[in-house]
């Protein structure tokens, strides 16, 4: 049987289930990735399982999110993570070593291997031929303990690239064009696999950019073949022995097909406030801009920053623009410092930020009131920047550089002769900021600050669910809406009672008070509820406040799994018209829930306030039903579940 590449990768790691789209499968995980925003809770969950060491081929704990040390809390988390990694057998990437996805691509990613990460942009490593999937922290903790990762077998979308990128057109423009075509819901339940003659013209960092933003399609992951470009990148990283040729069989087929002609592609931009609100740059040229930011895990590679530096060399950033540049890793930072590109950026007026996520997650650099910000990032959800009325655009580093020079959104094709940066024959390799596990783990003491609290216990799902509608929201509610990031909230990641005070903070400031007064209840949502970040805090904190179920039109994959993992019931409306009949404060009741779940039949919801009833269904495997009834994944594992 002919297999496409995604099927080959899954088949080589399959431990349970059949590769039929929609059916539950389980795969063996070779590597895991955690970071400090989600990783502290993942390591606390790993400790709660009582295992002495990680059981993967490789696990890496990164620090790249909670970098602003305005008090002791982030620093305490970093010390905890370093000691936990040393004791339990993981590598530790120290603060300053770089953004997890950029560093993992450089130093650890291996073609043909599986990677599970507690960050939604883990698929970045798909640019190197890995099956790299983002998940909630508890799923990653289970994988660190040697457990399989369970998910529904995705449909495989084949994206055929033909032609070659034209001058001033970049990989970022490819993925923004795909966002425009498929939307933020278009990849749900799917893997995006790239193939065709256009692939050969893309470097590994370019491919990584495309795979990174596949998360904004809602895709399970994205993947490129491992070819001569891949080998050249690994050899330049001093890791040539890790190379393995991988591609789809010649007669492989896909569930869906998309074709992008790179010869015809032009510079693209995502308008506020969704990545799929995309258009050619020329259509919004002239829009005044107050801020431009280059960086994030999407576009902070050596090639990206060298291109920006070459554009800015001998020029000055427009006086109306605050311009920031974030090197994606210490390797990138060292290299642009050594060859003079960093000096060019500084001379042009760039503000150089540390190698971390920074403004992409609202950690500083909030734009001024009423101004537009153009960023080479992956998300532009309303308020994510830290400014409530923000107007954030997403674009390539070349478009960002052109815009920074002119003070208005500018098509980079106006810059004249194209700039071509060739990948280096050898990257500067110095892993002195990556600490290996301790040789004598029994001598390592776990360091816990006062805000590092135990994992809160989920409750077994009651047979009768009764409560009021705490909140009704619309379509495409993100995990940023549910559990905001930013400098005020992120330091509370290891303290669920404290961070729970910010649930739906920017949507409805009274939500937490209402949840406490009403003793929990329900949330009603629209389509694609929970899109965006993998942060399990968007499930853990509502669980702590007593949320019993979410009733929505549809769910994003990772958030759906996170709800199940903490025993919150994710329900979808059988008839979406019933959404209009639900209001905040309605008293709802569901009876004999256990029997319905085990029989796989719809559940009837009684609206006691209005004297009506309607039906809801669910997409739960028998294993997920048992997880819910056990009171979440941690309780299920402790009871001997697999």
Are the CB atoms for 79 and 422 separated by under 8 Å?
no
* Tokens describing residue 197: 């003659």
Neighbour count for residue 238 (Cβ, 10 Å): 14
Contacts with 215 (C-beta within 8 Å, 6 or more apart), sequence order: 120, 121, 123, 134, 378
Query: CA-CA distance, 241 to 271, in Å (whole number)?
Result: 42
Query: Where in the sequence numbering do the catalytic residues fall?
Result: 64-65, 119, 379, 533, 535
Helix H or strand E segment including 9 = helix 5-11
Neighbour count for residue 439 (Cβ, 10 Å): 8
Query: CA-CA distance, 172 to 208, in Å (whole number)?
Result: 10
* CA distances in angstroms from 136 to 120, 130, 528, 538, listed in the order given: 9, 19, 17, 10
Backbone angles phi, psi at 43, to 5 degrees: -70, -35
Are the CB atoms for 100 and 329 separated by under 8 Å?
no
Sign for the CA dihedral angle at 585, 586, 591, 595 comes to negative
Read out DSSP for 35-94?
A: -HHHHHHHHHHHHHTT-SS--SSEEEEE--SS---SSHHHHHHHHHHHHHHHHHT-EEE-
* Tokens describing residue 613: 């009833």
Largest CA distance in the chain: 72
* CA distances in angstroms from 237 to 108, 186, 323, 420, 487, listed in the order given: 10, 34, 30, 21, 34
Helix H or strand E segment including 11 = helix 5-11
Are the CB atoms for 177 and 241 separated by under 8 Å?
no
Are the CB atoms for 215 and 134 separated by under 8 Å?
yes
Contacts with 337 (C-beta within 8 Å, 6 or more apart), sequence order: none
Are the CB atoms for 233 and 204 separated by under 8 Å?
yes
What ranges in 380-519 are assigned the alpha helix state H?
Answer: 397-406, 479-482, 496-499, 511-518
Helix H or strand E segment including 468 = strand 465-472
Backbone angles phi, psi at 586, to 5 degrees: -60, 135
- The residue among 183, 134, 127, 179 whose CA lies nearest residue 34 is 134
């Amino acid at each position: 049987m002919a297999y496409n590449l995604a099927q080959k990768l899954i088949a080589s790691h399959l431990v349970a289930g059949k590769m039929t789209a929609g059916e539950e499968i389980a795969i063996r995980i070779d590597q895991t990735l955690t970071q400090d925003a989600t990783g502290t809770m993942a390591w606390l969950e790993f400790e709660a399982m009582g295992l002495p060491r990680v059981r993967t081929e490789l696990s890496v704990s990164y620090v790249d999110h909670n970098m602003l040390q305005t008090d002791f809390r982030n620093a305490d988390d970093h010390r905890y993570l370093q000691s936990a990694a040393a004791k339990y057998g993981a590598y530790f990437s120290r603060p300053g070593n770089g953004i997890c996805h950029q560093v993992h691509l450089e130093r650890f990613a291996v073609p043909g291997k599986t990677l599970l990460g507690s960050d939604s942009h883990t698929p970045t490593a798909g640019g190197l031929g890995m099956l790299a999937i983002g998940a909630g922290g508890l799923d990653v903790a289970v994988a660190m303990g040697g457990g399989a990762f369970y998910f529904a077998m995705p449909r495989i979308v084949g994206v055929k690239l033909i032609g070659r990128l034209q001058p001033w057109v970049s990989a970022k423009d490819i993925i923004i064009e795909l966002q425009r075509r498929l939307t933020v819901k278009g990849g749900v339940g799917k893997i995006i696999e790239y193939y065709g003659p256009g692939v050969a013209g893309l470097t590994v960092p370019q491919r990584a950019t495309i795979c990174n933003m596949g998360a904004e399609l809602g895709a399970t992951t994205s993947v490129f073949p491992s070819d001569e470009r891949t080998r050249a990148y690994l050899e330049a990283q001093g890791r040539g022995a890790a190379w393995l040729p991988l591609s789809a069989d010649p007669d492989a087929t896909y569930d869906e097909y998309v074709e992008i002609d790179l010869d015809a592609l032009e510079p693209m931009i995502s308008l506020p406030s969704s990545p799929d609100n995309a258009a050619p740059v020329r259509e919004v040229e002239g829009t005044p801009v107050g801020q431009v930011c280059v960086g994030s895990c999407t576009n902070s590679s050596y090639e990206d920053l060298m291109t920006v530096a070459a554009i800015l060399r001998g020029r000055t950033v427009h006086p109306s623009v605050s311009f920031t540049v974030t090197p994606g890793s210490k390797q990138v930072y060292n290299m642009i410092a050594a060859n003079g590109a960093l000096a060019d950026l500084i001379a042009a007026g760039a503000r150089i930020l540390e190698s971390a996520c920074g403004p992409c997650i609202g950690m500083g650099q909030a734009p001024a009131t009423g101004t537009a910000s153009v960023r080479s990032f992956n998300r532009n959800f309303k308020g994510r920047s830290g400014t409530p009325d923000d107007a954030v655009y997403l674009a390539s580093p070349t478009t960002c550089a052109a815009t920074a020079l002119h003070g208005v959104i500018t098509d980079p094709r106006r810059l004249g002769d194209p700039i071509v940066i060739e990948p280096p024959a050898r990257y500067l390799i110095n892993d002195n900021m990556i600490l290996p596990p301790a040789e004598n783990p029994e001598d390592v003491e776990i360091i816990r600050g006062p805000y590092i609290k135990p994992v809160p216990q989920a409750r077994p799902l009651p047979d009768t669910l009764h409560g009021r509608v705490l909140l009704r929201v619309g379509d495409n509610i993100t995990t940023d809406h549910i559990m905001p990031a930013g400098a005020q909230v992120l330091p509370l990641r290891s303290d669920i009672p404290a961070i729970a005070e910010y649930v739906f903070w920017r949507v409805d400031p009274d939500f937490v008070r209402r949840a406490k007064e009403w003793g929990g209840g329900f949330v009603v949502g629209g389509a694609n509820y929970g899109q965006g970040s993998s942060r399990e805090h968007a499930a853990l904190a509502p669980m702590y406040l007593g949320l019993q179920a979410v009733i929505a039109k549809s769910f994003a994959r990772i958030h759906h799994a996170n709800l199940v993992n903490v025993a919150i019931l994710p329900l979808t409306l059988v008839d979406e018209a019933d959404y209009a009949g639900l209001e905040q404060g309605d008293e709802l009741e569901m009876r004999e829930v256990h029997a319905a779940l085990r029989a796989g039949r719809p559940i009837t919801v009684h609206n006691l306030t209005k004297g009506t009833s309607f039906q809801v269904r669910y997409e739960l495997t028998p294993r997920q039903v048992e997880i819910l009834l056990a009171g979440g994944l941690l309780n299920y594992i402790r009871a001997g579940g697999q």
